[in-house]
Protein backbone atom coordinates (compact mmCIF):
# COMPACT_ATOMS: atom_id res chain seq x y z
CA UNK A 1 0.00 0.00 0.00
CA UNK A 2 1.81 3.06 -1.22
CA UNK A 3 0.20 6.00 0.48
CA UNK A 4 0.09 9.28 -1.38
CA UNK A 5 -0.67 12.27 0.83
CA UNK A 6 -2.36 15.11 -0.99
CA UNK A 7 -0.86 18.54 -0.56
CA UNK A 8 -3.45 21.27 -0.14
CA UNK A 9 -2.83 24.43 -2.09
CA UNK A 10 -4.26 27.58 -0.53
CA UNK A 11 -3.23 30.79 -2.30
CA UNK A 12 -3.76 33.89 -0.16
CA UNK A 13 -4.09 37.38 -1.58
CA UNK A 14 -3.96 40.46 0.60
CA UNK A 15 -5.25 43.52 -1.19
CA UNK A 16 -5.52 46.93 0.37
CA UNK A 17 -7.73 49.35 -1.49
CA UNK A 18 -8.50 52.76 0.00
CA UNK A 19 -12.09 53.61 0.85
CA UNK A 20 -12.16 56.12 -1.96
CA UNK A 21 -11.55 53.37 -4.48
CA UNK A 22 -15.25 53.03 -5.08
CA UNK A 23 -15.15 56.22 -7.12
CA UNK A 24 -12.23 55.06 -9.24
CA UNK A 25 -12.68 53.63 -12.67
CA UNK A 26 -12.43 49.85 -13.20
CA UNK A 27 -9.17 50.32 -15.13
CA UNK A 28 -7.51 52.13 -12.22
CA UNK A 29 -8.72 49.45 -9.83
CA UNK A 30 -7.23 46.70 -11.99
CA UNK A 31 -3.89 48.56 -12.17
CA UNK A 32 -3.84 49.05 -8.41
CA UNK A 33 -4.71 45.37 -7.85
CA UNK A 34 -1.92 44.27 -10.18
CA UNK A 35 0.63 46.51 -8.41
CA UNK A 36 -0.42 45.19 -5.03
CA UNK A 37 -0.04 41.56 -6.11
CA UNK A 38 3.28 42.27 -7.80
CA UNK A 39 4.91 43.90 -4.77
CA UNK A 40 7.64 41.96 -2.87
CA UNK A 41 5.50 41.76 0.27
CA UNK A 42 2.56 40.42 -1.67
CA UNK A 43 4.72 37.81 -3.36
CA UNK A 44 5.77 36.58 0.05
CA UNK A 45 2.17 36.42 1.23
CA UNK A 46 1.03 34.70 -1.95
CA UNK A 47 3.29 31.69 -1.57
CA UNK A 48 1.34 28.45 -1.67
CA UNK A 49 0.97 26.77 1.70
CA UNK A 50 1.14 22.98 1.70
CA UNK A 51 0.13 20.87 4.65
CA UNK A 52 -0.04 17.12 5.26
CA UNK A 53 -1.87 16.65 8.52
CA UNK A 54 0.42 18.34 11.03
CA UNK A 55 3.61 18.03 9.01
CA UNK A 56 5.12 21.23 7.65
CA UNK A 57 6.62 20.59 4.22
CA UNK A 58 6.83 24.15 2.96
CA UNK A 59 10.62 23.93 2.95
CA UNK A 60 10.63 20.53 1.28
CA UNK A 61 8.28 20.62 -1.72
CA UNK A 62 8.84 23.80 -3.67
CA UNK A 63 6.24 24.04 -6.43
CA UNK A 64 6.87 26.95 -8.72
CA UNK A 65 4.61 28.24 -11.44
CA UNK A 66 6.66 26.76 -14.25
CA UNK A 67 5.53 26.93 -17.83
CA UNK A 68 4.03 23.68 -19.06
CA UNK A 69 6.64 23.18 -21.77
CA UNK A 70 9.40 23.28 -19.13
CA UNK A 71 7.60 21.16 -16.54
CA UNK A 72 8.79 17.86 -18.01
CA UNK A 73 12.38 18.95 -17.45
CA UNK A 74 11.83 17.93 -13.85
CA UNK A 75 11.85 14.31 -15.07
CA UNK A 76 15.29 14.40 -16.71
CA UNK A 77 17.41 13.96 -13.59
CA UNK A 78 15.09 11.37 -11.95
CA UNK A 79 15.06 9.33 -15.18
CA UNK A 80 18.86 9.35 -15.47
CA UNK A 81 19.17 8.53 -11.79
CA UNK A 82 16.72 5.63 -12.17
CA UNK A 83 18.57 4.13 -15.14
CA UNK A 84 21.93 4.46 -13.39
CA UNK A 85 20.65 3.09 -10.09
CA UNK A 86 18.93 0.07 -11.66
CA UNK A 87 22.06 -0.77 -13.66
CA UNK A 88 24.36 -0.39 -10.65
CA UNK A 89 21.99 -2.47 -8.50
CA UNK A 90 22.13 -5.49 -10.77
CA UNK A 91 25.87 -5.18 -11.37
CA UNK A 92 26.57 -4.86 -7.63
CA UNK A 93 24.31 -7.80 -6.78
CA UNK A 94 25.93 -9.89 -9.52
CA UNK A 95 29.32 -9.24 -7.89
CA UNK A 96 27.78 -10.04 -4.50
CA UNK A 97 26.43 -13.31 -5.89
CA UNK A 98 29.85 -14.21 -7.28
CA UNK A 99 31.51 -13.55 -3.92
CA UNK A 100 28.81 -15.57 -2.14
CA UNK A 101 29.53 -18.57 -4.35
CA UNK A 102 33.22 -18.23 -3.64
CA UNK A 103 32.57 -18.15 0.11
CA UNK A 104 30.33 -21.21 -0.13
CA UNK A 105 33.00 -23.16 -1.96
CA UNK A 106 35.62 -22.06 0.55
CA UNK A 107 33.31 -22.98 3.44
CA UNK A 108 32.79 -26.48 2.06
CA UNK A 109 36.53 -26.89 1.77
CA UNK A 110 37.14 -25.64 5.30
CA UNK A 111 34.46 -27.93 6.73
CA UNK A 112 36.43 -30.92 5.56
CA UNK A 113 39.34 -29.76 7.68
CA UNK A 114 37.33 -28.85 10.79
CA UNK A 115 36.80 -31.28 13.61
CA UNK A 116 33.29 -32.35 14.50
CA UNK A 117 33.76 -31.25 18.12
CA UNK A 118 34.45 -27.64 17.13
CA UNK A 119 31.41 -27.63 14.89
CA UNK A 120 29.11 -28.96 17.61
CA UNK A 121 30.39 -26.62 20.30
CA UNK A 122 29.82 -23.54 18.16
CA UNK A 123 26.34 -24.64 17.04
CA UNK A 124 24.98 -24.52 20.61
CA UNK A 125 25.14 -20.73 20.76
CA UNK A 126 26.14 -19.27 17.41
CA UNK A 127 23.86 -21.03 14.95
CA UNK A 128 20.45 -19.79 16.13
CA UNK A 129 20.41 -17.05 13.46
CA UNK A 130 21.79 -19.47 10.85
CA UNK A 131 19.03 -21.97 11.58
CA UNK A 132 16.49 -19.45 10.28
CA UNK A 133 15.83 -19.86 6.53
CA UNK A 134 17.93 -17.56 4.37
CA UNK A 135 14.86 -15.90 2.86
CA UNK A 136 13.49 -14.99 6.30
CA UNK A 137 16.85 -13.63 7.43
CA UNK A 138 17.11 -11.40 4.39
CA UNK A 139 13.55 -10.12 4.57
CA UNK A 140 13.93 -9.69 8.33
CA UNK A 141 16.72 -7.18 7.73
CA UNK A 142 14.55 -5.22 5.28
CA UNK A 143 11.68 -5.20 7.77
CA UNK A 144 14.05 -4.01 10.51
CA UNK A 145 15.13 -1.04 8.36
CA UNK A 146 11.50 -0.09 7.74
CA UNK A 147 10.67 -0.35 11.44
CA UNK A 148 13.65 1.86 12.35
CA UNK A 149 12.52 4.58 9.92
CA UNK A 150 8.96 4.27 11.23
CA UNK A 151 10.20 4.85 14.78
CA UNK A 152 12.19 7.86 13.60
CA UNK A 153 8.94 9.40 12.34
CA UNK A 154 7.74 9.41 15.95
CA UNK A 155 10.39 11.99 16.84
CA UNK A 156 9.05 15.46 16.11
CA UNK A 157 12.54 16.93 15.78
CA UNK A 158 13.36 14.52 12.92
CA UNK A 159 10.29 15.28 10.80
CA UNK A 160 11.96 17.98 8.64
CA UNK A 161 14.85 15.62 7.84
CA UNK A 162 12.54 12.70 7.06
CA UNK A 163 10.24 14.86 4.94
CA UNK A 164 13.25 16.02 2.97
CA UNK A 165 14.93 12.67 2.29
CA UNK A 166 12.38 9.92 3.06
CA UNK A 167 9.42 11.15 1.02
CA UNK A 168 9.35 11.39 -2.77
CA UNK A 169 8.04 14.10 -5.07
CA UNK A 170 9.12 15.33 -8.52
CA UNK A 171 9.12 18.86 -7.10
CA UNK A 172 11.91 17.99 -4.65
CA UNK A 173 15.56 18.29 -5.71
CA UNK A 174 16.75 15.32 -3.63
CA UNK A 175 17.18 12.31 -5.92
CA UNK A 176 18.14 10.03 -3.03
CA UNK A 177 14.57 10.31 -1.74
CA UNK A 178 13.45 8.18 -4.71
CA UNK A 179 14.94 5.09 -3.05
CA UNK A 180 14.92 6.15 0.61
CA UNK A 181 11.15 6.65 0.53
CA UNK A 182 10.85 2.91 -0.17
CA UNK A 183 11.88 2.25 3.44
CA UNK A 184 9.66 4.95 4.93
CA UNK A 185 6.23 4.49 6.54
CA UNK A 186 4.43 7.12 8.58
CA UNK A 187 1.37 5.05 9.50
CA UNK A 188 1.55 1.85 11.60
CA UNK A 189 -1.19 0.10 9.60
CA UNK A 190 0.60 0.97 6.36
CA UNK A 191 3.82 -0.50 7.74
CA UNK A 192 2.13 -3.66 9.04
CA UNK A 193 0.36 -4.46 5.76
CA UNK A 194 3.44 -3.96 3.61
CA UNK A 195 5.77 -5.91 5.89
CA UNK A 196 3.25 -8.74 6.31
CA UNK A 197 2.99 -9.16 2.53
CA UNK A 198 6.78 -9.02 2.18
CA UNK A 199 7.24 -11.66 4.90
CA UNK A 200 4.56 -13.90 3.37
CA UNK A 201 6.14 -13.88 -0.09
CA UNK A 202 9.75 -14.02 1.10
CA UNK A 203 10.34 -17.73 0.51
CA UNK A 204 8.97 -18.09 -3.05
CA UNK A 205 10.48 -14.83 -4.26
CA UNK A 206 13.96 -15.46 -2.81
CA UNK A 207 13.82 -18.97 -4.21
CA UNK A 208 12.83 -17.50 -7.59
CA UNK A 209 15.50 -14.80 -7.82
CA UNK A 210 18.15 -15.80 -5.31
CA UNK A 211 18.91 -13.46 -2.41
CA UNK A 212 21.23 -11.19 -4.40
CA UNK A 213 18.94 -10.73 -7.39
CA UNK A 214 15.98 -10.33 -5.05
CA UNK A 215 17.66 -7.33 -3.41
CA UNK A 216 18.40 -5.81 -6.83
CA UNK A 217 14.82 -6.40 -8.00
CA UNK A 218 13.35 -5.03 -4.76
CA UNK A 219 15.39 -1.82 -4.94
CA UNK A 220 14.90 -1.41 -8.69
CA UNK A 221 11.15 -1.92 -8.34
CA UNK A 222 11.04 0.77 -5.69
CA UNK A 223 12.82 3.40 -7.75
CA UNK A 224 11.02 2.53 -11.01
CA UNK A 225 7.64 2.79 -9.28
CA UNK A 226 8.72 6.16 -7.88
CA UNK A 227 9.60 7.34 -11.39
CA UNK A 228 6.17 6.20 -12.62
CA UNK A 229 4.63 8.24 -9.81
CA UNK A 230 6.73 11.25 -10.84
CA UNK A 231 5.49 11.03 -14.43
CA UNK A 232 1.88 10.91 -13.26
CA UNK A 233 2.33 13.88 -10.91
CA UNK A 234 4.01 15.95 -13.62
CA UNK A 235 1.30 15.16 -16.17
CA UNK A 236 -1.51 15.93 -13.72
CA UNK A 237 0.44 18.76 -12.02
CA UNK A 238 -0.16 17.19 -8.62
CA UNK A 239 2.31 18.36 -5.92
CA UNK A 240 1.92 15.30 -3.66
CA UNK A 241 4.55 13.48 -1.66
CA UNK A 242 4.59 9.68 -1.46
CA UNK A 243 6.30 7.09 0.70
CA UNK A 244 6.15 3.36 1.36
CA UNK A 245 7.46 0.03 0.09
CA UNK A 246 4.39 -0.75 -2.01
CA UNK A 247 6.14 -0.10 -5.32
CA UNK A 248 8.78 -2.71 -4.48
CA UNK A 249 6.13 -5.09 -3.17
CA UNK A 250 4.09 -4.76 -6.35
CA UNK A 251 7.21 -5.68 -8.32
CA UNK A 252 7.67 -8.77 -6.15
CA UNK A 253 4.00 -9.72 -6.47
CA UNK A 254 4.03 -9.21 -10.22
CA UNK A 255 7.07 -11.46 -10.63
CA UNK A 256 5.69 -14.21 -8.36
CA UNK A 257 2.25 -14.17 -10.02
CA UNK A 258 3.84 -14.48 -13.46
CA UNK A 259 6.01 -17.43 -12.42
CA UNK A 260 3.34 -19.23 -10.38
CA UNK A 261 0.00 -18.26 -12.01
CA UNK A 262 -1.92 -21.20 -10.50
CA UNK A 263 -0.78 -20.59 -6.93
CA UNK A 264 -3.63 -19.96 -4.50
CA UNK A 265 -3.55 -16.67 -2.58
CA UNK A 266 -5.75 -15.18 0.11
CA UNK A 267 -6.31 -11.80 1.78
CA UNK A 268 -5.00 -11.35 5.32
CA UNK A 269 -8.41 -10.40 6.75
CA UNK A 270 -10.32 -12.94 4.60
CA UNK A 271 -8.26 -16.15 4.82
CA UNK A 272 -11.24 -18.30 3.75
CA UNK A 273 -11.46 -16.49 0.39
CA UNK A 274 -8.83 -17.82 -2.04
CA UNK A 275 -8.03 -16.97 -5.64
CA UNK A 276 -5.33 -17.76 -8.18
CA UNK A 277 -2.20 -15.67 -8.58
CA UNK A 278 -3.15 -14.91 -12.17
CA UNK A 279 -6.51 -13.51 -11.06
CA UNK A 280 -4.76 -11.44 -8.39
CA UNK A 281 -2.37 -10.02 -10.98
CA UNK A 282 -5.17 -9.01 -13.34
CA UNK A 283 -7.13 -7.53 -10.45
CA UNK A 284 -4.17 -5.45 -9.23
CA UNK A 285 -3.44 -4.10 -12.71
CA UNK A 286 -7.11 -3.28 -13.38
CA UNK A 287 -7.53 -1.54 -10.02
CA UNK A 288 -4.42 0.58 -10.48
CA UNK A 289 -5.30 1.50 -14.06
CA UNK A 290 -8.74 2.70 -12.93
CA UNK A 291 -7.24 4.49 -9.93
CA UNK A 292 -4.67 6.23 -12.14
CA UNK A 293 -7.22 7.31 -14.75
CA UNK A 294 -9.74 8.53 -12.18
CA UNK A 295 -6.98 10.10 -10.05
CA UNK A 296 -7.90 8.39 -6.81
CA UNK A 297 -5.87 10.12 -4.12
CA UNK A 298 -5.71 7.72 -1.18
CA UNK A 299 -3.14 5.43 -2.84
CA UNK A 300 -0.42 6.19 -5.34
CA UNK A 301 -1.87 4.00 -8.09
CA UNK A 302 0.65 5.19 -10.67
CA UNK A 303 3.49 3.88 -8.46
CA UNK A 304 1.64 0.59 -7.96
CA UNK A 305 1.10 0.23 -11.69
CA UNK A 306 4.75 0.99 -12.49
CA UNK A 307 5.92 -1.54 -9.90
CA UNK A 308 3.67 -4.41 -10.98
CA UNK A 309 4.44 -3.91 -14.69
CA UNK A 310 8.13 -3.98 -13.93
CA UNK A 311 7.61 -7.19 -11.95
CA UNK A 312 5.80 -8.73 -14.92
CA UNK A 313 8.71 -7.71 -17.16
CA UNK A 314 11.48 -9.14 -14.98
Can you tell me the distance from the alpha carbon of 288 to that of 308, in angstroms, rounded to the nearest whole number? 10
Q: Which of 185, 190, 301, 304 is catalytic?
A: 304
Phi, psi of 264 (to 5 degrees): -95, 130
Catalytic annotation on 246? yes
304 annotated active-site: yes
Residue 231's contacts (CB-CB under 8 Å, 6 or more residues apart) are: 75, 302
Q: Which of 169, 246, 248, 301 is catalytic?
A: 246
Rounded CA-CA distance 148/168 in Å is 18
Give the residue numbers annotated as catalytic, written as ranges.
Answer: 246, 304
Amino acid sequence: MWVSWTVLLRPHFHLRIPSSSATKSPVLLLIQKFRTQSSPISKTLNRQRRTIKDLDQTKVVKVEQTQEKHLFRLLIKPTLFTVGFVGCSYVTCALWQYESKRRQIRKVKDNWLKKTIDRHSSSMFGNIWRDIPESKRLVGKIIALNVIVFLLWRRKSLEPFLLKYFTSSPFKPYLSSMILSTFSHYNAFHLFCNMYVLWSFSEPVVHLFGKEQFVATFLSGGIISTLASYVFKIVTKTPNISLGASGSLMTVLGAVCMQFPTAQLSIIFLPFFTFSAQSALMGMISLDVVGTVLRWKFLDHAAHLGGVLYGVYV
